[in-house]
Amino acid sequence: MRLSVLAFCIAVFVGLASPAAAVLPDEVLDDPVLEERARALSTELRCLVCQNQSIDDSNAALARELRILLRERLVEGDTDQEIIDYLVERYGQFVLLKPQFNVFTAILWLAPGLLLAGGAVLAIRVVRRRSSASTADSANLSAEEEQKLQKLLRAEKTAD
């Protein structure tokens, strides 16, 4: 009984983890080569409604229209790049799941590295400032405090 429940749970989780693949049967092209190109291209294009899904995975009406448009352009003989250029011209760079590097998207590509470098510089400065502050505090000991410190250090050495 437990084994069958476990197998059922695993099957459900595996089914939920697989991509949605919202392409409907009436959208599929008869030519398997063109259909393969269409599927590859549709995984690179963003659903403008869902925003974090490709048009291949989205069930939105606009995603369906984009999948159909993409397949129509393939049947007409457009190259992959011509199709992408057409969609970018029509919908803007946002339609690409991986935006191209240019002047307008440079901040998207460079910001993570710049933030990481800035954080590293800040962390180094804080660590250096704290270490210099702690050595400055120990240098300002009175003669009495210095004697107590030396006594404690000697006691620690003899205890070892």
Q: What is the pLDDT of residues 100-149, one digit of tens each?
A: 777 877 887 888 999 999 999 999 999 988 877 666 555 677 888 888 88
* Residue 50, domain CATH: 1.10.8.640
83 falls within a domain: yes
Q: Decide: helix, strand or coil at residue 96.
A: strand
Q: Decide: helix, strand or coil at residue 46.
A: strand
| Distance (Å, whole) CA 154 – CA 160 | 10
Which residue range is the domain that position 33 belongs to?
2-95
Residue 145, both tokens: 């405090």
Q: Are 2 and 39 in contact (CB under 8 A)?
A: no
Q: Are 20 and 55 in contact (CB under 8 A)?
A: no
The answer to whether residues 65 and 142 belong to one domain is no
Number of domains comprising the chain: 2
Q: What is the pLDDT of residues 21-58, one digit of tens each?
A: 566 666 777 788 888 998 999 999 998 888 788 898 88
CA 135: distance to chain centroid?
A: 42
57 falls within a domain: yes
The answer to whether residues 23 and 79 belong to one domain is yes
Q: Name the domain boundary from 72, 95, 118.
A: 95
Whether the model pTM is above 0.85: no
N- to C-terminal Cα distance for the chain?
61
The answer to whether residues 9 and 75 belong to one domain is yes
Phi then psi dihedrals of residue 46, to 5 deg: -85, 140
